[in-house]
């Protein structure tokens, strides 16, 4: 009887919670039962085009499925600046789908992420959350193997050449790795400067390092 009462109470609390804080689509915020509504899912499926992203870095191999605008941009910004972690599962789905299409023949020993900037207002790294979620869905291990050894300027404030300089010597390996096949996950790739620096650092200890970003964008040519 006690168990029945307790379960009934839990069900009631769960129902009340759903009424007060209803589940919303991570992309458009409409109230519905899934993390992504049918309308947004249809739009994303139409936009989903996984590809190798062209950069100026010969050692950087990065795949990404979708342009950083519209629904995806909104979800990443909600996660990054508003702490809306309901955006993690759908964004990691983009990573998982890209891996299954572009890297299905590749051996991946574990997934890691790009270390984040220090932010007193934020106690999480959005790239780490996405990477962990993707690793879990794929049945792979996640390891934090990179740390930032010095703070630098925000990349989105810089032009192409300054971005290269800004990330030089910023990262260091913080875990024992040797001859492993590593996949780095990130939320957005622009010039590839940050991911390339991570690849260069890890490649000294690993057999292969490839990257996947949930979205890609182009650097604003007018950026000074």
Q: Are 166 and 158 in contact (CB under 8 A)?
A: yes
* Domains of the chain, each with CATH number or no CATH: 1-47 (no CATH), 50-216 (3.40.50.2020)
Residue 133 to residues 129, 170, 208, Cα–Cα distance (Å): 6, 26, 22
Range 21-38 burial, b when 16+ CB lie within 10 A, else e? eeebbbbeeeebeebbbe
Residue 40 to residues 35, 36, 86, 98, 175, Cα–Cα distance (Å): 10, 6, 15, 18, 39
CA quadruple 138, 143, 145, 149: dihedral positive or negative?
positive
pLDDT at 1 over 60: no
Mean pLDDT lowest for which of 79-88, 92-101, 150-159? 150-159
Q: What is the pLDDT of residue 2?
A: 41
**In 3D, which of 8, 97, 107 has the Cα closest to residue 45?**
97
Mean pLDDT of 85-111: 96
Q: What is the pLDDT of residue 221?
A: 46
pLDDT at 13 over 50: no
Q: What is the pLDDT of residue 153?
A: 86
User: Cα(158)–Cα(151) distance, rounded to whole angstroms?
Assistant: 15
Report field, pTM of the whole predicted structure over 0.75: yes
Q: Which residues sit opposite 218 in a β-bridge?
A: none
Tokens of 219: 């650097």
Q: What is the pLDDT of residue 133?
A: 98
Of the two residues 61 and 123, the one the predictor is more confident about is: 61
How many Cβ atoms sit within 10 Å of the Cβ of residue 181?
Answer: 14
Report the percentage of the chain scoring pLDDT > 70: 86
Q: What is the pLDDT of residue 86?
A: 94
Mean pLDDT of 61-70: 97
Q: What is the pLDDT of residue 17?
A: 47
pLDDT at 29 over 80: yes
pLDDT at 121 over 90: no
CA angle 50, 56, 57 (to 5 degrees): 85
User: Cα(214)–Cα(186) distance, rounded to whole angstroms?
Assistant: 7
Q: What is the pLDDT of residue 120?
A: 55
pLDDT digits (tens, 9 = 90+) for 176-185: 999 999 999 9
């Amino acid at each position: 009887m006690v168990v029945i009462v307790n379960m009934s109470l839990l069900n009631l609390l769960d129902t009340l919670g759903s009424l007060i804080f209803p589940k919303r689509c991570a992309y458009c915020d409409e109230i519905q039962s899934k993390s992504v509504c049918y309308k947004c899912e249809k739009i994303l499926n139409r936009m989903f085009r996984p590809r190798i992203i062209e950069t100026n870095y010969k050692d950087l191999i990065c795949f990404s499925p979708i342009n950083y605008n519209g629904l995806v941009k909104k979800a990443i910004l909600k996660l990054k600046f508003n702490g809306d972690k309901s955006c993690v599962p759908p964004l990691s789905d983009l990573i998982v789908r890209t891996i299954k299409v572009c890297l299905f023949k590749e051996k991946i020993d574990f997934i890691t992420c790009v270390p984040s900037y220090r932010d007193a207002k934020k106690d999480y790294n959005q790239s780490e959350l996405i990477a962990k979620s993707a690793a879990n869905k794929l049945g792979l291990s996640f390891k934090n193997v990179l740390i930032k050894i010095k703070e630098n300027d925000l990349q989105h404030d810089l032009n192409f050449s300054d971005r290269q300089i800004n990330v030089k010597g910023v990262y260091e390996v913080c875990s024992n790795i040797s001859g492993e096949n590593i996949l780095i996950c990130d939320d957005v790739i622009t010039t590839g400067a940050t991911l390339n620096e991570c690849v260069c650092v890890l490649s000294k200890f690993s057999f292969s390092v490839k990257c996947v970003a949930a979205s890609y964008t182009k650097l604003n040519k007018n950026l000074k």
